[in-house]
Structure 1
Amino acid sequence: MRLTRTKISLLLQEKTLDQEVLVKGWVRTKRGSKNVAFIALNDGSTIHNLQIVADPGIINEETLRKVTSGACIAVTGKLTASQGQGQSIELYSSKIEILGEADPESYPLQPKKHSFEFLREIAHLRPRTATFGAVYRMRHAMTFAIHKFFHDKGFYCVHTPIVTGSDAEGAGEMFRVTTLNMDKPPRDEEGKIDYKEDFFGKETNLTVSGQLEGELAALALSEVYTFGPTFRAENSNTSRHLAEFWMIEPEMAFYDINDNMDLAEEFLKYLVRYALDHCRDDLEFLNKRALDEEKDKKKEEKSEMSLIERLQFILENDFARVTYTEAIEILRNSKPNKKKKFQFLIERWGADLQSEHERFLVEKHFKRPVILYNYPKAIKAFYMRQNDPESQTGEDTVAAMDVLFPGIGEIIGGSQREERLDKLMQRMDQAHIPHDEMWWYLDTRKFGTAPHSGFGLGFERLLLFITGLGNIRDVIPFPRTPENAEF
């Protein structure tokens, strides 16, 4: 009878002894003596390796010589109880087939600790490490959980364009899309590049957000979400920035700012709970990795909570809801501000909050996740609903909200959208956004407008929090950053 491959995750889970099985995977390590060899095999289905016992009396010497770190092998044998420490079962091999050799002299992933900086240089191989195998599995699990959350709530997934003629954020940091010959582009009468000759007949870019198109769908289907790639041409090399990343952006008709905050809190708690319930082995590995790293840090740099404690912290606490105005007063009167410990001092209402301020509010003042809302109009996007004069601080604020987490600061940003045509046109004029370029967006305010809200969750920022890693380039398979588009 022909054996079919069994995943290592299933073998370790079922632990059915004395059966003949076939496993395939990549060699992590090989150790032993002339009498026996122990091979740690991993196929990516679990953080755990399966120990293969190879008897040189059964497996020929030439085959065993080719079993080196990085080699891909197929192993047939019987599952037995392990006699050694570190594993409960092992596979006593009767046959080993070399599927792909790995030159031990040049294979870059030798069995030792490698820096994340080095692993970014070999991003095509880093998924074979335990850490990045865990990250990839977590990325999949969170993708599934996001779709499941919205599907179970009756939301519809919509696909918004990647190529767009609009700048949703109004920031202008976009990647241009063109088929023009850049050596000799066509010119108009004023000597400017004539984009009428381009593929789309106008200037186009890679999208920074699917929000605006998501709003159009919400004003027909009521509750929708997008989940797709977005692009920002921001020349930043920080550990929090990517030029290409993924965004989850729900848009909901008939939701006000309070409904929006309710959904954001429910959504984040669902994702954290899903990770704890379904990714326990990977989380425990990442938790241990993070604790080991903490040992080398200075006392003032150490985290107060472990990775798993931070995840539990999200589930165990209701999110504090605080207006921007209240937060400014808290920050202005705080010890770090008075003693000039903040890098960016808070001196006046209207300041744009930085990560250090957000983390202070979460970790030191409220000691729980925080949702800030009602931000100054001047520092927010044109599409956010202007608060009525009788609300809080009057017309100077908009119904915007940000969700702040420990260790990371802002994780979600959103708002109630401006559904009133006159107010929206007024804000577009202030932001110098031409009405004719956004005619389709304005039409939704002319024909059956409705109160509606939405938010954006950066997928990689979520993964930073869930995995406990410190650099956003390590939670996406192939990071795109300034002067780096390798692989």
Structure 2
Amino acid sequence: MKRSSIQDLLQATQFSQKVHIKGWVRTFRSNRFIALNDGSTINNIQCVVDFENTDQDIIKRITTGAAIAIQGTLVESQGKGQAVEIQVSEIEILGDSNPEEYPIQPKKHSFEFLRENAHLRIRTNTFSAVMRVRSALSFAVHTYFQKNGFYYVNTPIITGSDAEGAGEMFHVTNFKANQAPLNEAGAVDYTKDFFGKETNLTVSGQLEAETYAMALGKVYTFGPTFRAENSNTTRHLAEFWMIEPEVAFMDLDGDMDLAEDFIKYVLGYVIENCKDDLDFLNNRLLQEEKTKPQAERSEMSLLEKLNFVVTNDFKRVSYTEAIDILRNSKPNKKKKFQYIIDQWGADLQSEHERYLVEKHFKCPVILFDYPANIKAFYMRLNEDQKTVRAMDVLFPGIGEIVGGSQREERLDVLKDKMKALGIEEKELWWYLDTRKFGTAVHAGFGLGFERLVQFTTGMGNIRDVIPFPRTPQNAEF
């Protein structure tokens, strides 16, 4: 008999049909009621066992975490909480689970405990919901770009360039520890390394994506990136995934249009296709909010935040205007901000970004035209020589979620900016070539996928929205 998914059976309207399912036991009550889950949905299906006519050795092996196969008849449920259930005719134990050792028992577990058991935490309702939403978001990302004429480009994971200029990169070497050869100057001789030069794990695929946009028109990357920042905050990972579209012949206005349209599409897709999981996550967050002091509670539920982004037009505000708003705001004047805004040129913090979104404009905000000295070298310099054609998309509860810009297409200006920052032309000769041969206006943005998943699921820690988080002092599993 063909195996059915629990998701399909829970939606079935034809009763008395014979069914075959496999899954993992969530609970087994009164030696009669099995709550079974196969991962296809957050909802369990109830399987009713005929205790008197079932092998007692089998009954003893039906424990939380055990994998079992069931054959039976789908019937209309007589109990509350479910529309259908299965009257069991045959049970097979596929994999035992020792109840004295299995850590994911049916009780409340701390997220810290579950991180220590990341290989099993997916069996909880919270993490199965988060990962199904993550999967749906990933599908929506590809669907949006493919429908809109973008080509998917796989950029290198190992690179000799630093796209951000931050220097916080992981070195890649074939040298054994403490056995690296030295040159005459006493420095490591990377010409003898595997790649013949110093290489690192990438922090971004943007620079390589730009070269492809200048031939294919519209491209996007969606792959792993790495930052070697020794940061243990709830918003940072050492390994994470980045979405980076690049478009030829597009200016900053087009870039902002693209970012808004893209975000609304992927969130709308999840709202439409992950209703059960979002309902569960929304209720989980509401219960969590009740434990917080009144002043720290969010003004919007998870579903309200998602709809807030999807249904509102994004307000576009220059950095200069935003600084004036913040400087004259009550939290700034009363020194309620942790970082006081006193002059133009300040690098905005999450508290400032959230104030603009949640308190002042009450809608998602796109800030643009940032000071050049707080942004990357590849962003196009404005005529005022002080600002660049950069933009950040700001969300409620999180602050910045997207960062992008119109790229500097003028060779002489780009060279001057690189020289001022001490970036060697010979290291990026190939990048400069795109400005020598058929240069054109182009733009793009970067979106950290885990930040998007975190916003969509309402999870408070970014380590809980990636299957196996990589953070300082942690590379388990």
Tell me if both proteins adopt one fold, taking TM over 0.5 as the criterion: yes
Map Cα deviations across residues 188-221 of structure 1 (whole Å, 9 max, x no partner).
Answer: 0011110011000000000000000000000000
Note if 1:138 corresponds to 2:138: no
Distance 1:172 1:304 in 2: 38
Root-mean-square deviation over aligned CA pairs: 0.6
Describe how 1:26-41 pairs up with structure 2 within 5 A.
Answer: 26-32=24-30, 37-41=32-36
Q: For residue 484 of structure 1, what is the aligned residue in structure 2? A: 474
Describe how 1:305-454 pairs up with structure 2 within 5 A.
Answer: 305-388=300-383, 394-454=384-444
Map Cα deviations across residues 347-403 of structure 1 (whole Å, 9 max, x no partner).
Answer: 111010000000000000000000000000000000000011xxxxx1100000000
Distance 1:177 1:256 in 2: 36
CA contact (8 A) 1:234 1:243 kept: yes
Distance 1:105 1:146 in 2: 42
Note if 1:12 corresponds to 2:6: no
CA contact (8 A) 1:322 1:370 kept: yes
Report the identity percentage.
66
Which AA in structure 2 matches 1:382? F
Distance 1:363 1:430 in 2: 38
Secondary structure (helix, strand or coil) at the match of 1:14 reads: coil
Distance 2:331 2:110 in 1: 33
Q: For residue 289 of structure 1, what is the aligned residue in structure 2? A: 284
Distance 1:315 1:183 in 2: 54
Distance 1:227 1:238 in 2: 24
Map Cα deviations across residues 111-150 of structure 1 (whole Å, 9 max, x no partner).
Answer: 1011111100000000110111111111110010000000
Which AA in structure 2 matches 1:458? G
Describe how 1:136-285 pairs up with structure 2 within 5 A.
Answer: 136-285=131-280
Which AA in structure 2 matches 1:459? F
The structure 1 segments of at least 4 consecutive aligned residues displaced by more than 3 Å after TM superposition are none
Map Cα deviations across residues 213-236 of structure 1 (whole Å, 9 max, x no partner).
Answer: 000000000100000000000010
Map Cα deviations across residues 163-205 of structure 1 (whole Å, 9 max, x no partner).
Answer: 0000000000000000012221100001111001100000000
Q: For residue 25 of structure 1, what is the aligned residue in structure 2? A: 23
| The 10-residue stretch of structure 1 (372-381 or 12-21) with the greater mean CA deviation from structure 2 | 12-21
Q: For residue 52 of structure 2, what is the aligned residue in structure 1? A: 57
Q: Deviation of residue 15 (structure 1)? A: 3.4
Match of 1:82 among 73, 77, 80: 77
CA contact (8 A) 1:58 1:94 kept: no
Match of 1:43 among 19, 38, 41: 38
Secondary structure (helix, strand or coil) at the match of 2:108 reads: coil
TM-score by length of 2: 0.99
Which AA in structure 1 matches 2:196? G
Distance 2:372 2:465 in 1: 33
Distance 1:68 1:10 in 2: 24
Q: For residue 391 of structure 1, what is the aligned residue in structure 2? A: none
Q: Deviation of residue 255 (structure 1)? A: 0.5
| The 10-residue stretch of structure 1 (48-57 or 206-215) with the greater mean CA deviation from structure 2 | 48-57
Q: Deviation of residue 57 (structure 1)? A: 2.1
Unaligned runs of 5+ in 2: none
Q: Deviation of residue 58 (structure 1)? A: 2.5
Q: For residue 466 of structure 1, what is the aligned residue in structure 2? A: 456
Q: For residue 301 of structure 1, what is the aligned residue in structure 2? A: 296
